[in-house]
Amino acid sequence: MLTKTTFYYVRHGETDWNREKRIQGQLDIPLNALGMEQAEAASRLIRDLNIAAVCTSPLSRARETAKRFQTALGCSLHVIEDLREATFGTYDGEIRGAWYEEWKAGRFIPKGAETYPDFIQRALAAINRALAHPGPVLIVAHGMLYRAIKEHARLDEKFTLLNCQVVRHTPPQMAGESWQAVAIR
């Protein structure tokens, strides 16, 4: 279960592999020039949000994005190892194809990859570790990792998180309701 507290989530800035639609997995692909610009623009956007802590994946594309946010906010930065992206093993670096849906459905697991359920469990535990910090917390991580939030917060499956898009998540007020996810502009 997702810890019921208001928090923010940002997918790291763009990389060259994002532009090429390549699965980065746990390969440490750096931000490109646009990704650095996106992080700077988003850091100006979040300055007045009263965020108390920034938690990030150890991968450089997320960590570099998070450092810009930490500087803008003047708050603590925490690297959480399990906020790293899913690993697709031998398919890291591949273009997403039919194999990806087969992986999510549990019918195909590339050599060296984690299973989809194991990934979601790891991601949710890491998100909850981040949310244990005094908040509101800003989590800076990856697009796939956001799937754990979408599943456990019952968010719209069709919502695609863009690079450096800041999203505020508010827990439901009553049992049976979904979380609210609002993009900050």
| pLDDT (tens digit per residue) in 22-69 | 999 999 999 999 999 999 999 999 999 999 999 999 999 999 999 999
The catalytic residue among 14, 64, 85, 114 is 85
**What's the pLDDT score for residue 158?**
85
**What's the pLDDT score for residue 112?**
96
- Catalytic site includes residue 12: yes
The answer on pLDDT for 117 being more than 90 is yes
**pTM of the full predicted structure?**
0.95
- Catalytic site includes residue 85: yes
Average pLDDT in the chain: 95
Q: How far is CA 166 from CA 1, 87, 98, 138, 139, in A?
A: 22, 24, 29, 9, 10
- Cα(125)–Cα(83) distance, rounded to whole angstroms? 9
The answer on pLDDT for 16 being more than 90 is yes
CATH number at residue 18: 3.40.50.1240
Number of structural domains found in the chain:
1
Domain that holds residue 66: 7-184
Domain presence at residue 1? no
Domain presence at residue 2? no
Residues above pLDDT 90, as percent of the chain: 91
- Cα(55)–Cα(94) distance, rounded to whole angstroms? 28
**What's the pLDDT score for residue 20?**
94
